[in-house]
Structure 1
Amino acid sequence: MTSTPQAAPRRWRERLLLNEDLNFLLTNRLPRRWLTLAMGRFSKIRSPWLTRFSIGVWRQFTELDLSEAKEQRFESLHACFTRELKEGARPLAPDPALLISPCDALVGAIGRVQRGTVLQAKGMPYRLAELFGCSEEPAEFEGGHYLTLRLTSAMYHRFHAPADACIEAVRYLSGDTWNVNPIALKRIERLFCRNERARIRLRLADGRPMALVPVAAILVASIRLHFLDVLLHLRWAGPRDLPCDVPVRRGQELGWFEHGSTLVVFVPPGFEPCVTTGQRLRMGQALLRPVIAPS
């Protein structure tokens, strides 16, 4: 039996990913902040040949698929990271009552907020107040669901509104740039609370709250939101509160990460997940459904 040309790189990648100690060493014991800032500068170099070479190297580590990209030629690696997709590449779930996935992702932890605590992985709890950067627990999400959506580096990196809503506020919190892959989540306590992040507070059309928390990671550490005329990045001291009053439509693009990371979704009681842990999602697929209270 002959192997395909892609088989050897794939086996090499799989061996690297399965070696947890090596994976953790390579992605978390290096100077994370310095590497992240350096990658930010490197990715913005405008050079067609350097970009093609960088994308070629990138493909050796990921299953990068650019067939859905709106543009097929990129002036920089940054342009490839933050690429737009062709029109219609991400259809929305037809039922408007469903909250849709804000991004392409692998579904991580799913659960309920209990006494202000959620899990990043089995046996790894963290406080919702610490993630949000609050002095008190956000009681409105007590008993509601949270879902962790992990974007890999090869995925589409933009995120969108899960429903018709109004964005009321953003709180930016500067921090570290730990990798957010499953290996790190099992080893680093309160990882999401350590990393750079932004809490985006939304008010749904029916008046209920919702929160999206984009969490940056190594080589990422820049979050761009279209409705704010500022790039949120590591040079900000944080925390910073940025008041908003921005209506958004279901599926409307909100912003992007500059590589790949995690987005944590919080809803109050009255919703239940439509997805399961480990599922691969595309932006626009059903994520949460409203629960009809018994009469």
Structure 2
Amino acid sequence: MLKWLYRFMIELTNHAVSSKFIAFFTQSRLSAWLIPSYAKIYRINQEEMEKSLNHYKTLQQLFIRKLKEGARPIDEAEDSIISPVDAVIEDIGIISEQKDITVKGKQYSIPEMLGSDALAEKYLNGLFVILYLSPSHYHRIHSPISGVVTRQWSLGAKSYPVNRLGLKYGRRPLSKNYRMITEVNSDGKHVAIVKVGAMFVNSIELTHPHDQLIKGQEMAYFSFGSTVVLLFEKDSVEIDSRMTVPMAIKVGERIGFWK
């Protein structure tokens, strides 16, 4: 019964009013009675959580939970690039000559995603990686590389669903949704980290205190499940040979190397 309820709640996020109501509910004390069943149905690993389940007073607090120190080992190779989130890798590919990418059969414009044709030029023929977070995932975002934040900005007003059906049938959510973009320079090589909002609730909160990022350092969190898009410059990275699509991955696991 409760599993049906959670699925129904997720389906309601296709509508702005109901989505905002659900966001309000998950942040209220009324949602606390759902926490034990939610943790069970979505198989949340309580052993790795920083605090016990009864510490969380709302569902939203559980969504943005922190993990125990050391729960996500960071790949230590100097040239490695790690996953910034616990997620499913939904797609990996090349940014075309037309400055777009194809995900689930739908084309997404990189100039539209970044809000700048000139900036998109930098990533022409580069690699992209799509990482989708479900309601069961740990929702904090960590830096995939060490480097300096050169620019950070937000675009978009509304957020449509970014699950698999949303990617396939939605109105180009990766390039139209509310999104917060962080561009990082690592020894002259750039990566754009596009954090895409979901559920009509623009729930991306930054947590890094300054412009210097260390690989594996927390930099933001989603209040609800969403998607991270990584954009790399041409010939700057090599994807790890074990990467497949779709594939589950966790924060700190290697997704590729700097060339």
Give the structure-1-normalised TM-score.
0.78
Please list the CA deviations of residues 20-39 of structure 1 after superposition, one character each: whole Å capped at 9, or x if unmatched. xx999x356x42x2233323
**Secondary structure of the structure 1 residue equivalent to 2:169:** coil
Q: Do residues 226 (structure 1) and 191 (structure 2) align?
A: no
1:39 to 10, 15, 22: 22
Instruction: Report the CA distance shift for 1:60/1:158 in structure 2 as closer, same or farther (over 3 A).
Output: same
Name the amino acid aligned to 1:110: I
**Unmatched runs of 5 consecutive residues or more in structure 1:** 1-7, 229-244
Q: Do residues 283 (structure 1) and 251 (structure 2) align?
A: yes
Larger Rg: 1
Query: 2:9·2:22 contact (CA, 8 Å) conserved in 1?
Result: no
1:96 to 64, 74, 78: 78
Correspondence for 2:211: 246
Correspondence for 1:112: 94
Query: 1:113·1:141 contact (CA, 8 Å) conserved in 2?
Result: yes
Instruction: Give the distance between the partners of 2:76 and 2:146, measured in 1 at CA.
Output: 14
1:157 to 115, 139, 146: 139
Instruction: Report the CA distance shift for 1:81/1:23 in structure 2 as closer, same or farther (over 3 A).
Output: closer
Instruction: Give the distance between the partners of 1:181 and 1:131, measured in 2 at CA.
Output: 18
Name the amino acid aligned to 1:70: E
Q: Do residues 176 (structure 1) and 158 (structure 2) align?
A: yes
Query: 1:9·1:60 contact (CA, 8 Å) conserved in 2?
Result: no
Query: 1:35·1:219 contact (CA, 8 Å) conserved in 2?
Result: no
**Secondary structure of the structure 1 residue equivalent to 2:148:** strand
**Unmatched runs of 5 consecutive residues or more in structure 2:** none
Q: Do residues 202 (structure 1) and 170 (structure 2) align?
A: no
Correspondence for 2:50: 70
**Secondary structure of the structure 1 residue equivalent to 2:48:** coil
Shift of 1:95: 1.0
Structural RMSD (CA)? 2.6
Matches within 5 A, 1:254-265: 254-265=219-230
Correspondence for 1:130: 112
Instruction: Report the CA distance shift for 1:60/1:174 in structure 2 as closer, same or farther (over 3 A).
Output: farther
Please list the CA deviations of residues 3-55 of structure 1 after superposition, one character each: whole Å capped at 9, or x if unmatched. xxxxx988x79xx98xxxx999x356x42x2233323332332x3xx444122
Shift of 1:79: 1.4
Query: 1:100·1:287 contact (CA, 8 Å) conserved in 2?
Result: yes
**Secondary structure of the structure 1 residue equivalent to 2:211:** strand
**Secondary structure of the structure 2 residue equivalent to 1:36:** helix
Instruction: Report the CA distance shift for 1:258/1:219 in structure 2 as closer, same or farther (over 3 A).
Output: farther
Instruction: Report the CA distance shift for 1:61/1:119 in structure 2 as closer, same or farther (over 3 A).
Output: farther
Query: 1:35·1:218 contact (CA, 8 Å) conserved in 2?
Result: no
Shift of 1:166: 0.6
Equivalent residue pairs, number: 253
Between the aligned residues of both structures, percent identity stands at: 25
Name the amino acid aligned to 1:138: A
Q: Do residues 266 (structure 1) and 231 (structure 2) align?
A: yes
Query: 1:164·1:250 contact (CA, 8 Å) conserved in 2?
Result: yes
Give the structure-2-normalised TM-score.
0.88
